[in-house]
């Protein structure tokens, strides 16, 4: 059967694989040999599920958004990842990977972060489990995201400002990989999205797949059927979207809509719409679509939303787009902000700027009255208040 899931070699169609320096080959191979065995063990499943329930607060509600539904002429449910501990979906993945690291005998955790959301999730989990945590963050981002830096420090993590390149996420990632090369035996690298060398994209998608597992059960309870007509999510690296679509990826009754960050517009130099603008290339250890110039140099992306401001995209999503399994829409800064205000005024929910891009896709689609739409609100907007009020 045709599947959009990863194949034996770690590819989604032509995208994926593991392109890492020689010295890391063993680490990646070790993880590849261990992750499925660990994740499928009863011991892991029990500890992971207990923490998701008692610590994260799962299942997250599937909320029927009545006034939003009236506005768009269909039946919209919101999957409320914003209600998780630490305010977004990233904690699901961070907990899972820390449990895997522990079972592999690793004592030291490293992570990279752009906006600081993944850094906070990693630092949170390390505090919970009593593990050492080092977070690499571009110096520009350290200055821009001061509140998250303070949170990570209070949680006991060491935040290392990176001063190479543009001093943003891509440079922090390079530095994290360099650290991993220096400490391959005792260190585990927690990647925050469905990116990086195989098996990371598949592992992160599986850890986030609790989202679609819950959607299935909750839709059944609400509607007496276990699948929607549409699934909508925003994509930076693609982890909340991967979790949202995971159990429906090969179910063609379900239409998948992915919203990427258009920035000021895909016809301007200020955009982060990687699927619209990118070309095949290698970034962060995998073959995927990359925003690059004619010399293959990575182009600095731009989005109003720090979490979507990434010049690559997960290989799963590059393939979903290429095979036309998913419709990919670019949602611009102003459209996202307008959608965030709309949700706030209609439903009393202030979404993260990232999630606002998924909401911005609603106005670009044509629904029928009885269409069942599930849209993932990946995080809450507390961190974005300054941006919203300035706009
Ligand atoms: C990090 C983040 C994203 C983007 O990451 P994905 O891996 O694409 O999900 C989206 N929403 C929120 C709230 C985030 O913190």
Q: Average pLDDT of each block of 10 consecutive residues along the chain (391 residues)?
A: 94 97 91 97 98 98 98 98 98 98 96 94 98 96 90 98 89 92 93 97 98 98 98 98 98 98 97 97 96 91 90 97 98 98 98 97 98 98 93 85
**If DSSP codes are grouped into helix, strand and coil, which group holds residue 8?**
coil
Catalytic residues: 90, 112, 378
Q: What is the pLDDT of residue 170?
A: 86
> Is 262 close to ligand 1, i.e. is its CB under 6 Å away?
no
DSSP string, 121-190: HHHHHHHHHT-EEEEEEEHHHHHHTHHHHHHHHHTTPEEEEE-STTSSHHHHHHHHHHHHHHSTTTEEEE
Taking the centre of ligand 1 as the mean of its atom positions, its distance from the CA of residue 232, in whole angstroms, is 14
Q: What is the pLDDT of residue 165?
A: 85
Q: What is the pLDDT of residue 232?
A: 99
Q: What is the pLDDT of residue 356?
A: 98
> Is 208 close to ligand 1, i.e. is its CB under 6 Å away?
no
> Is 145 close to ligand 1, i.e. is its CB under 6 Å away?
no
Ligand 1 atom with minimal separation from the 194 CA: 7
Ligand 1 atom with minimal separation from the 241 CA: 9
| Cα-to-chain-centroid distance, residue 29 | 23
Ligand 1 atom with minimal separation from the 238 CA: 8
> Is 112 close to ligand 1, i.e. is its CB under 6 Å away?
no
Q: What is the pLDDT of residue 306?
A: 86
Q: What is the pLDDT of residue 391?
A: 85
Q: Determine phi and psi for 116, rounding to 5 degrees.
A: 105, -10
> Is 116 close to ligand 1, i.e. is its CB under 6 Å away?
no
Give the residue among 208, 205, 239, 244 at the shortest CA–CA distance from 228: 244
15-16 and 11-12 strand pairing? antiparallel
Taking the centre of ligand 1 as the mean of its atom positions, its distance from the CA of residue 378, in whole angstroms, is 6
Look up tokens 């095979």; give the residue. Answer: 323
Taking a C-beta distance cutoff of 8 angstroms, is the pair 56, 91 a contact?
Answer: yes
Give the residue among 234, 303, 237, 233 at the shortest CA–CA distance from 93: 237
């Amino acid at each position: 059967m045709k599947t959009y899931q990863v194949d034996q070699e770690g590819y989604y169609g032509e995208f994926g694989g593991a392109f890492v320096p020689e010295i890391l080959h063993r680490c990646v191979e070790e993880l590849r040999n261990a992750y499925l065995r660990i994740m499928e063990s009863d011991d892991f499943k029990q500890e992971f599920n207990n923490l998701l329930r008692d610590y994260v607060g799962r299942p997250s509600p599937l909320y029927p958004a009545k006034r939003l539904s009236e506005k768009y002429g269909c039946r919209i449910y919101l999957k409320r990842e914003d209600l998780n501990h630490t305010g977004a979906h990233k904690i699901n993945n961070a907990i899972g990977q820390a449990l895997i690291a522990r079972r592999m005998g690793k004592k030291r955790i490293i992570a990279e972060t752009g906006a600081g959301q993944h850094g906070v999730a990693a630092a949170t989990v390390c505090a919970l489990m009593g593990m050492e945590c080092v977070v690499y963050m571009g110096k520009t981002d350290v200055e821009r995201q001061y509140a998250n830096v303070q949170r990570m420090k209070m949680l006991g993590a060491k935040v290392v400002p990176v001063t190479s390149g543009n001093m943003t996420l891509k440079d922090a990632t390079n530095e994290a990989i360099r650290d991993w090369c220096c400490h391959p035996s005792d260190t585990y690298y927690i990647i925050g999205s469905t990116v990086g060398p195989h098996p990371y994209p598949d592992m992160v998608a599986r850890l986030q797949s609790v989202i679609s597992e819950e959607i299935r059960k909750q839709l059944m309870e609400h509607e007496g059927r276990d699948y929607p007509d549409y699934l909508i999510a925003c994509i930076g690296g693609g982890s909340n979207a991967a979790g949202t679509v995971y159990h429906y990826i090969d179910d063609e009754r379900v239409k998948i809509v992915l919203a990427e960050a258009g920035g000021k517009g895909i016809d301007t130099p200020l955009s982060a719409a990687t699927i619209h603008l990118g070309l095949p290339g290698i970034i962060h250890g995998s073959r995927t679509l990359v925003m690059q110039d004619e010399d293959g140099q990575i182009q600095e992306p731009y989005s109003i939303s720090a979490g979507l401001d990434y010049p690559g995209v997960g290989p799963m999503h590059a393939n979903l787009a290429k095979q036309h399994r998913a419709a990919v829409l670019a949602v611009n800064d102003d459209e996202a902000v307008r959608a965030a205000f709309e949700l706030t005024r209609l439903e009393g929910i202030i979404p993260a700027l990232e999630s606002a891009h998924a909401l911005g896709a609603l106005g670009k689609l044509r629904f029928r009255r009885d269409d069942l739409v599930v849209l993932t609100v990946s995080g809450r907007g507390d961190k974005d208040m300054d941006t919203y009020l300035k706009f």
